[in-house]
Structure 1
Amino acid sequence: MIKVQTVHTSELDTKTRTAVRALLDEAFEGDLSDDDWEHALGGMHALAWDGAELAGHASVVQRRLLHGGRALRVGYVEAVGVREDLRRRGYGAALMDALERVIRDAYDLGALSAADEAVDFYEVRGWQRWQGPTFALTPTGLVRTEEDDDGVHVLPVTVPLELSGELVCDWRDGDVW
């Protein structure tokens, strides 16, 4: 049985935080920027363990997305990664089970930006590809984020969505979606 622990960022001790960053650097093959790491902090973390060794990580942080004339409180999934030697053994699903419980209990909506190779994984879990145009509310105003249109997925919880409508994310450094 896979053991998954959920903790807030404030409860991650230095040793665990360092292990999470190392695992993610490996899982993302060195393509996890400092901004990406920053995006994963400040919310709830799901940590999967293989005995005493960290096997996987995912986090959910609060963001605001605008849709249909409303500002939605969104559980945004970040930094999902599993050690390479343990992939395709259920760790990713166990991590997402934990985060999806948090999302359903605390947010209007779940959202994430999926890498191409992860799209099937999320869609099988009930995440829906956003079909409309995406934007970011930046310090200089509303900016179209066309390059992110195909990667944004949502998990409906409490609000009706028009998947072909506009979706606007709040601003942050690095990748906005």
Structure 2
Amino acid sequence: MNDETPVMTSHRPYLLRALYEWIADNEMTPHLLVDATRSGVQVPLHAVSEGRIVLNVAQQAVSGLEMTNELIRFSARFGGVSQSISVPTHAVVAIYARETGQGMVLPEETGEEAGAGDNAPAPSAAGGTPRPALSAVPSDTSSTEDREGNGHDPGPDGDGTDPGPRRGGHLRVVK
């Protein structure tokens, strides 16, 4: 038997696809909590709050949803304007059902997993690689159209518009 442990790909994309299917099969609305400060994230900057964004990825809210091992890509409407969204799987913090809050907070990836599956070595503890700046998709913030069914949930982390009555918290981050 071999003394070396085989290197496996990240389990994150598999968990994301499975949980997405589970939430959709239960006729609920899947949402992604995304760390918008991670490299490769392309979302409307005006929709980001405190470095995070909540994306409604329900089938009726997006078009062209593609979930690969490296990337989640789709088009969604923000303020009535269609936007192309691109989120690397390593930037997804959680996936949950809007109606119940049930889902999963994904653990931080370490070592080779943090390189989004590209087998990049982990940054050294003494001099880690700094996080890149936000990458934003151009947007038109002048529109005030109804946001129902769009790709962004303007809840408590909204973009400055009045989201209506609060539904209560969905997730609690425990450190």
User: How would you bin the TM-score normalised by the shorter chain?
Assistant: under 0.3
- The one of the two structures with greater contact order (alpha-carbon pairs below 8 A, sep at least 6) is 2
Higher helix share: 1
TM-score by length of 1: 0.27
TM-score by length of 2: 0.27
